[in-house]
Structure 1
């Protein structure tokens, strides 16, 4: 998490939680029903296309050769030529990909060339030789396009890797159809019909009783970051408590805040903030124990190596986790492991896995999270694709004595691609772990309200057990 005190970071729990309602809504959806099916294992045979192929039903990919769009040559194959794509339509795309020759595995991303504009990534997958991998994504256009081309690139774009694709699908949703699906999933996953029987002490039913229901707490947590500026600021505290039931300390738990100088621990601010959280029964996430990005470690830590660093790490985790045992429901254990490797470089390849084991031993009730950025925002960052995230989680889970409990997604959006975002969440849901959007911020050049609403609603309809 990188932010200032002006940055509002929204916490969004995406685990399957139940909310009660006295009324049920219709299950009917006018238009296509969103298919959340996703696969993360490489298969001997590809599955049938979602939506029976949608706009790509019975359409075969182009053969090597030139096409009619400037700048797209034979090396971009296989390709699909698309006609008459409309503005503001949400297009959900999926396809199965296999490497025929040229590499054992490769990062493959789907791109869209629409007239003179190119969408850099509308979906990605780690493809392998000899088996089929599932790519799921999507896109939305700012303007209509008479002709466009959907094509594929590999991480080694030298023409040597040959791809085979099958079971392609492109399903359009109007904005209204997308909202209808969101409403359906929200009502289905987060609401239940409740029958209330009112009776006298002798068991006799009371006819026509008037029942008032007051919600006093929420299972589905939405929150914001707080910083030391909330201490003693009553208007800020009142404003916060009325709106949020979850929080994360902006900087006050980070190592550079609690031990800026070696051996001089200072938990004063964190303790005071915890008192505020505890007094108002607010859920708090612990962020973070360690940060893999070297620039967010104390200067003195960056100068340590070998056993000196190992001793400092052990003292840090023991001091922090013991002091706040049972206080934080979550901990981001080793932040941004996909992008950085400060501790692995100095302490060994699996150093961060040991952090998870130590945290579990000290606070067995806390949910331990793997937190990173550019997982749900884009598929252009090869370090943090959804397949890379899933592979790292599975690797961590195979490590002896480790239990990683939660998926943490930083959401630093420019323009949210809701089709891609939802597709990535579908894949992550196959891990059967709770998913939290641990941060949400939107580019200042955009309409914040509408874009945050899109991001939140894409998350609200997604869940994992």
Structure 2
């Protein structure tokens, strides 16, 4: 008899969180039971960590990181700079060019020294296709210098651009797949390499053929693609949100070049989310939460029990991750573990009793 059980998943599937999760044991329990990845909604952004010039406050981010560490959750760093002036600290807006140049250097050094090796990714430039505050102030090469400095500060972190309306729509002329790739090529000309493709994925009615075609085109670059902020517009009722969410998640998960999916569903104390909540304030699932639970259950191998064939062989199809195997024969039992990782070849594993 052979018993195989998937004990951990390799595919990062997670959600945004915010400071409402600090000390909130029901929220923490609900989150950990489902997700193996997280991204902070606002707590790492410049406006949150330095609301006044020279006054740094990482208290909330540190407390959220304690939760992430304690539960061995993969965390994305979001974000170092946001190009949209609406979300840049007010004191930054009025700096001279020389003052701003110093401030951004201090921002990178402070943030990434404090959290070196803590976040697997950093969104270095958020919404670079739509806004250009720093380029207007510091010159057209400003963002490229941000990538250089971020890489020097944390060489192990994967550096992303992150933008919206790339896979969601073909009507936004600022954020076509071609404009995104053009920015990446510009980075390379300046000797800077962006390591990952961040697609925010804030959907209205999903155009799945468009989404698939854009993912296919990005896949030719052979870089990790992440759907970084998946949600469905609150213009739809909860049931329609859930139906569209399932379409998007299935499309993303099934694409071989998508390496991770993050939902943008951080719950606030007042029960609100950006667009799409998964639960109510008592952590009872809304329809979107039920959809997530259904897919998470579907996308795991679970427990398989079977007999070997006459040659002592047993085979199965499984999702990427860690597995525990137990084999019993003639009154003897032995146990071991193995991993299933990306490969074009069948994974062979031998166990002897």
Match for 1:356 among 130, 135, 147?
147
- How much has 1:458 moved relative to structure 2? 1.2
Match of 2:31 in 1: 240
After superposition, the C-alpha distances for 1:356-392 in whole angstroms (9 at most, x for unaligned) are 0001001010000010000000011000011111111
Match for 1:439 among 216, 229, 248?
229
Greater than 3 Å deviation, 4+ residue runs: none
Match of 2:197 in 1: 407
After superposition, the C-alpha distances for 1:394-434 in whole angstroms (9 at most, x for unaligned) are 1112212x121000001111100101110111111111100
CA distance in 2, matches of 1:325, 1:218: 25
Alpha carbons 1:435, 1:463 under 8 Å: kept: no
Match of 2:103 in 1: 312
After superposition, the C-alpha distances for 1:11-38 in whole angstroms (9 at most, x for unaligned) are xxxxxxxxxxxxxxxxxxxxxxxxxxxx
CA distance in 1, matches of 2:9, 2:93: 42
After superposition, the C-alpha distances for 1:195-238 in whole angstroms (9 at most, x for unaligned) are xxxxxxxxxxxxxxx23333232111110111001011001000
Matches within 5 A, 1:51-66: none
Match of 1:268 in 2: 59
CA distance in 2, matches of 1:228, 1:321: 20
Query: Does 2:36 align with 1:257?
Result: no
CA distance in 2, matches of 1:456, 1:397: 31
Match of 1:339 in 2: 130
Match of 2:250 in 1: 457
CA distance in 1, matches of 2:185, 2:219: 13
After superposition, the C-alpha distances for 1:156-208 in whole angstroms (9 at most, x for unaligned) are xxxxxxxxxxxxxxxxxxxxxxxxxxxxxxxxxxxxxxxxxxxxxxxxxxxxx
- How much has 1:327 moved relative to structure 2? 0.3
- SS across alignment from 2:66: helix
CA distance in 1, matches of 2:246, 2:24: 29
Match of 1:323 in 2: 114
Mind listing any 5+ residue stretches in structure 2 that lack a counterpart? 260-353
CA distance in 2, matches of 1:220, 1:304: 43
Size of the alignment, in residue pairs?
255
CA distance in 2, matches of 1:318, 1:216: 38
Matches within 5 A, 1:10-409: 210-400=1-191, 402-409=192-199
Scaled by the length of structure 1, what TM-score is found? 0.54
- How much has 1:461 moved relative to structure 2? 2.0
Aligned-pair Cα RMSD in Å: 1.1
* Greater percentage in helix: 2
CA distance in 2, matches of 1:238, 1:322: 30
- Between stretches 360-369 and 389-398, larger displacement belongs to 389-398
- SS across alignment from 1:433: coil
| Max Rg structure | 1
Match of 1:448 in 2: 241
Match of 2:287 in 1: none
Alpha carbons 1:343, 1:351 under 8 Å: kept: yes
